Amino acid sequence: MDKHKVSTGKRIFDVVFSSIVLLVVSPVMLLTAFAIAIESRGSIIYVSRRVGWGYDIFNFYKFRSMYKNSDTKLRDLENNNAYALDQTNKEDRLKEFLICPDCELPGHPCSPLLYIHGYQICENKYLEYKRQMRREYTFIKVKDDPRITKVGKFIRATHIDELPQFVNVIKGDMSVVGNRPLPTYEAENLTTDMLSYRFLAPAGITGLWQVYGSDKPDPEERMRLDNKYFEKKGWKTDFLIILKTIPSLFKFKSRDL
């Protein structure tokens, strides 16, 4: 994140607040690092490429909560994606796009005809179907993820794994309050105007989604709250989010990747 994109006051608050937090929790961070090193092989800090404000890509820090080389297994686990569990079967969804009003007019179809899963569908409607499915399956949250270590489950539930992100804040990659930076594979699906507003606000450790989002995975709600932060961002909003974040830290619930 470009340090000059945030106001001077917000930047000063980010640096001072993050420095104090890191100083206070340093004993917890040392114990966490020791526990991670004992349980499984691999680096103590997990570094991933995340997309923040203005689609800027940066190195995002967390305590490692998974076994080594878990990233390569992510696509194999997409069938357990909690954001997709409540969606209708993809083939059933395809049936909703079979009828094209333009193709029903006299003359030739509006675009070349395709045969998908035994159904005839015009190319324009199929592309519309693919765009809709990308929007609905953008976010990934794996239920009962076998890649997570025992220490990882604890530090995720208690949010200890997030503490290294205060280093990101001091570096200027993120702010304390903002929209969560997304992995590149999620961000690449949020390119339309309506979906990309979230990238016009700073990336943050906590935000509206973290404190007001429901426990049930809902990608539409997440996008709505992310966009709302862009519209409402300011000192008052940030202060209220920080106050709401404190009690939410004591809620043990499943977490995003």
Distance (Å, rounded) from C-alpha 58 to C-alpha 39? 28
175 and 121 inside one domain: no
Q: Please count the structural domains in the chain.
A: 2
Token pair 């007001």 in the structure block, residue: 212
Asked whether residue 127 falls in the same domain as residue 233, the answer is no
Q: Which amino acid is present at 25?
A: V
Q: Would 24 be classed as within a structural domain?
A: yes
pLDDT in tens, 224-251: 888 889 888 889 999 999 999 887 776 6
Is there a single domain that holds both residue 149 and residue 62? yes
CA distance linking residue 169 with residue 204, whole number of Å: 8
Answer whether residue 255 is part of any domain.
no
Q: Among positive and negative, which fits the CA dihedral 14, 19, 22, 23?
A: negative
On whether both 159 and 94 belong to a single domain, the answer is no
Give, in order, the Cα–Cα distances in Å from 96 to each of 103, 109, 128.
15, 18, 11
Does any domain span residue 151? yes
Q: Is 107 exposed, middle or buried (0-12, 13-18, 19+ CB in 10 A)?
A: exposed
Taking the complete model, does pTM exceed 0.75, yes or no?
no
CA distance 136 to 189: 10
- Pick the closest to residue 164 from 6, 28, 11 (CA basis): 28
- 149 close to 66: Cβ distance less than 8 angstroms: yes
pLDDT of residue 220: 75
| Residues 92, 73 share a domain | no
Structure confidence by residue, pLDDT tens digits, 88-144: 555 566 566 666 766 666 666 666 666 666 666 666 666 676 666 655 555 555 566
Domain boundary among 112, 136, 160: 136
Least confident among 25-34, 54-63, 128-137, 208-217 = 128-137
Instruction: Report the pLDDT value the prediction gives residue 227, as an integer from 0 to 100.
Output: 86
Residue 235 belongs to domain spanning: 3-77+145-248
- List Cα–Cα distances, 165 to 18, 40, 63, 77, in angstroms: 9, 22, 9, 26
b or e along 7-16 (b: 16 or more beta carbons within 10 Å of the residue's beta carbon)? Answer: eeebbebbbe
* 55 plus 105 within the same structural domain: no
Answer yes or no: do 94 and 61 share one domain: no
Question: Is residue 94 helix, strand or coil?
Answer: helix
